Amino acid sequence: MAYRWTNDLTAADVTPEAAFVNRRQITGGLAAAGLVGLGAGSVRAETLEPNGWEEITSYNNFYEFGTDKDDPARYADRLTISPWTVKIDGMVDKPGDYSFDQIMSAMTVEERIYRFRCVEAWSMVIPWNGFELADLLNMAGVQAGAKYVAFETLLRPEEMPGVRYPIIEWPYVEGLRLDEAMHPLTIMATGIYGKPIPKQNGAPMRLVVPWKYGYKSIKSIVRISLVDKQPPTAWNKYSDREYGFYSNVNPNVDHPRWSQATERKVGSGLFAKKVPTLMFNGYEAEVASLYAGMDLAKYH
Ligand SMILES: Nc1nc2c(c(=O)[nH]1)N[C@H]1C(S)=C(S)[C@@H](COP(=O)(O)O)O[C@H]1N2
Ligand SMILES: [Mo]
């Protein structure tokens, strides 16, 4: 990429509650002083008040542990995350089984406060800690013919009560085009609020692609493959009509069964007014060029 994305409004070394209060003050101050809207590469400050720890870690989608929003918080503690190995294979110079510790010692972790928009039309703002996926892929050495990246979640039935139900085909799989994977907004999250990422949120390492619907952000990853063909993805296999490969957040392209024009902010109350959904979830300036000339309704 020609540029590195930086979040000018991030406070370093956060601790949960103090940081939350702190950031709101900082953000408010900047807004009042007219210093927001820092141009391409920055994220609008007014929408970046993160959800609380409790909301982020108790309202989840992680179907391997059940389909109710509170199932992951209830059952994911069964997941063994140490030791953890990620297989990186396919069209790379250095294929192999990389331990989580090995990866972490080579990566630079930073905070990214991102909007997170589920296809079910709810949203949060989450202060992730993580590293750019591009750094990991470059470590493995992407070969010239690679065009896509395929991801796979752990499948361990004895620890995952949800996988006895054939809701989707297990293991959960996802994919990105290589330029999407290399985009500086695309991260591997390893923490939230400066703490290791909880199991219900995809420990020890999960993808976060903030301009796409939440289901693209695959959890608890054990395999990353560089390939030359568009890989199958879990929800697309379930219904091609409802869940496309791209899955970019788009208020103008409705899900066949509901509108995507608005969203409910988790924590804002059951009867809270819905807020408008933003094109590419508010990251249009950063990512629209990836899809120049593409029919976004067709490639949904
Ligand atoms: N392996 C796996 N990854 C997954 C899911 C899942 O069920 N299994 N759910 C997806 C969906 S639909 C969403 S909205 C997000 C939810 O992430 P969160 O629980 O951390 O908010 O994870 C995504 N990643
Ligand atoms: Mo979702």
Q: Where are the domains of the chain?
A: 5-291
- Flag the least confident range among 41-45, 84-88, 121-125, 156-160: 41-45
- pLDDT interval class at 47 (50, 70, 90): low
Nearest to 55 by CA among 264, 256, 288, 297: 264
- pLDDT interval class at 11 (50, 70, 90): very low
Q: Decide which of 3.90.420.10, 3.10.20.590, 3.20.20.70, 2.60.40.1180 is the CATH code for 5-291.
A: 3.90.420.10
- pLDDT interval class at 43 (50, 70, 90): very low
Nearest to 50 by CA among 5, 108, 112, 7: 112
Cα(187)–Cα(205) distance, rounded to whole angstroms?
10
Q: Exposed/middle/buried for 257, CB within 10 Å: 0-12, 13-18, 19+?
A: exposed
**pLDDT at res. 273:** 80
Q: Which tokens in the block code for residue 228?
A: 């030359």
Binding residues for Mo-molybdopterin: 60, 63-64, 118, 153, 201, 206, 217-219
Nearest to 186 by CA among 149, 230, 220: 149
Question: Is pTM, for the whole model, over 0.75?
Answer: yes
What ligand has the least distance to the C-alpha of 63?
1
Compute the residue count for the chain: 300
- pLDDT interval class at 23 (50, 70, 90): very low
pLDDT of residue 15 exceeding 60, the answer is no
Residue 63 near ligand 1, beta carbon < 6 Å:
yes
Q: Which tokens in the block code for residue 229?
A: 């063909």
Residue to substitute in 187, 217, 260 for testing ligand 1 pocket (most ligand atoms within 8 angstroms of CB): 217
Binding residues: 60, 63-64, 118, 153, 201, 206, 217-219
Identify the bridge partners of residue 189 per DSSP, sorted by sequence position. Answer: 130, 206
